[in-house]
Amino acid sequence: MSENAHPRADAMDALTTGELLALMQSEDLLAVESVRPALDRIAAAIDEISTRLRSGGRLHYFGAGTSGRLAALDAAECPSTFGVPPELVQAHAAGDGEAEDDDRMGAEDARQARLGADDAVVGISASGRTAYVLAASERPIARVQS
């Protein structure tokens, strides 16, 4: 399994509704604040993705479990929200459970996506170590003949 349970997961059943909501809200704040140190890297990634898309590349998300479903939702919204062709942003998702830990499936999904030199790959993983996502992200770029 590529994700860990929250340290207070076993005690959640004993919390009142108010305590549970306070815990959830404090965790939400931690998540939001954890982005701050990465803002420069996120900006650089967005700039690089934009350059690739303007050069004719596509954006490929690779995710697993809930992360994969969120990627699929984002990709599905791009055509209507931004007026782009549906093939510009594509999501590839492993599903739940053992599929998340299937590095061979990640590499195969990346191969089948026929990634080109201008394509951008974004791996989406709550833990940062999901085998499917890492394998798809490390897949060498296929040179597509025109």
Strand order in the sheet with 120-124: 89-93, 59-63, 120-124
Taken in order 106, 1, 66, 129, the sign of the CA dihedral is: negative
Residue 53 host element (H or E)? helix 39-54
Determine phi and psi for 22, rounding to 5 degrees: -65, -40
77 is catalytic: yes
Please give the DSSP secondary-structure letter assigned to residue 128.
S
33 is catalytic: no
d(CA 57, CA 49): 9
**Amino acid at site 118:** D
Tokens found for residue 35: 């982005």
Considering 27, 48, 77, 98, which one is annotated as catalytic?
A: 77
Q: Which residues are catalytic?
A: 77, 108
